[in-house]
Amino acid sequence: MTPPRTPQIPVVVLAGFLGSGKTTLLNHLLRNRAGTRIGVIVNDFGAIEIDAMTVSGQVGSTVSLGNGCLCCAVDASELDTFLETLTRPPARLDVIVIEASGLAEPQELVRMLLASDNPHILYGGLVEVVDAAEFDRTRQRHPEIDRHLAVADLVVLNKTDRVGEAERERLRAAVAELSGPAAVISAVHGRIDPELLFDPALRPDHEEKVCQLTFEDLLREEAPDGHDDHLHASYESVDFTSDVPMDPRRFMEFLDSRPDGLYRIKGFADFGAGDRDNTYALHAVGRFLRFVPRPWARGEQRLTQLVMIGAGIDAAALSAGLAACRADGAARADEPGRADAADVERAMWGVLRYVQEQAPEPEVFDTHETADPREAAAEA
């Protein structure tokens, strides 16, 4: 099985009604990206603090924000075209954020991404930003917010400094009820840890050389002490490592029943006798799941290494659940004679259905009965 030839770029959809603070959150990501090159797709350049980011060039509807970041102003009919532009190797982007205002309904944007035939993109989640101080009035004016929350993968309850503690807890409970399994985190001024949404980019040594301080660097230095720790405190992460291969059936059962509040899972899984040639990169956001196999490197230690990120999750229960997924001796790679080949092959079917083919075609994602777009396609 051949993995994609080039790394796929996660595409995050950022949604929220007027005044929720989503553009403030977007600008926070741009200012605190820690070297990650972000492509931004908006309906109007006015959403981005372009002057503050030091514009270094503009071609057509694309503006360079400096430091490798790009911004495109598009309408819905141009989305595929600009995704193609931003995912070309010369752009060298690490993540793309779509600010949904004025483009399309969030659920429709998710459908467009899942149905896209662009092999270079990977669904990165739907983030819904909610104004805590105006939530009840927003629901009165825009009852469709209930529908938006129902399909969100992550909900940011913003402006929580404007409500009291009791009201904050009431709002969290109300939002959690509407958003179902989605993780719900609190924020002030749209400040969330960027690592909640995407991994920091790892640059080659020659790209990490000492350079002149940028405007972004100065802004980060002005942040109060402990700012990053405070942002990280809004969510939890759980690390899991095993030198025993994972049983494919048990592991898929774990993924199919992952608890509410678990937003992302990332890492690599070793399936032992299920596929002795490959390790499987795992990317799960909300209800979306994909595996990407790659050959083991010569001499590489065969491990399963996973990181789970969410809010209100039970770290001990998650670790125990994963530990229970470890294979018994019959499925271990170093004991091939004890495993029934046909049974091992059948056990891998659940994993392989989430492996993208080179020429993907939309399929039915039938694990659960739902109208959610991520569960209406078997990971295009």
pLDDT digits (tens, 9 = 90+) for 164-216: 999 999 999 999 999 999 999 999 999 999 989 988 775 444 444 433 334 34
The helix/strand/coil state of 165 is helix
pLDDT digits (tens, 9 = 90+) for 80-94: 888 888 888 888 889
Q: Pick from 257, 261, 110: which is nearest to 185 by CA?
A: 261
Distance between CA 98 and CA 118 in Å, rounded? 16
Give me the sign of the Cα torsion angle 169, 170, 174, 177: positive
292, HSE (Cβ side, Cα atoms, 13 Å) = 17
> Mean pLDDT per segment of 10 residues, for the chain of length 380 residues?
66 91 88 84 59 37 57 70 86 88 77 88 95 95 93 96 95 95 94 89 48 40 45 76 96 94 94 95 94 94 95 93 86 51 86 78 40 49
The helix/strand/coil state of 36 is coil
The helix/strand/coil state of 119 is coil
Distance between CA 171 and CA 167 in Å, rounded? 6
Distance between CA 188 and CA 179 in Å, rounded? 20
Q: Which residue has the tokens 């996660």?
A: 10
**Do residues 215 and 282 lie in contact, with contact meaning Cβ atoms separated by under 8 Å?**
no
Q: Are strands 69-73 and 95-99 parallel, antiparallel or unpaired?
A: unpaired
Q: Which residue has the tokens 């001024």?
A: 189
Please write down the long-range contacts of 22-27, taking CB distance under 8 Å and 24 or more positions apart. Answer: 22/99, 22/101, 22/129, 22/190, 23/47, 23/48, 23/99, 23/101, 24/158, 24/189, 24/190, 25/129, 25/156, 25/158, 25/187, 25/190, 25/191, 25/192, 26/97, 26/99, 26/190, 27/52, 27/190
DSSP state of 326: B
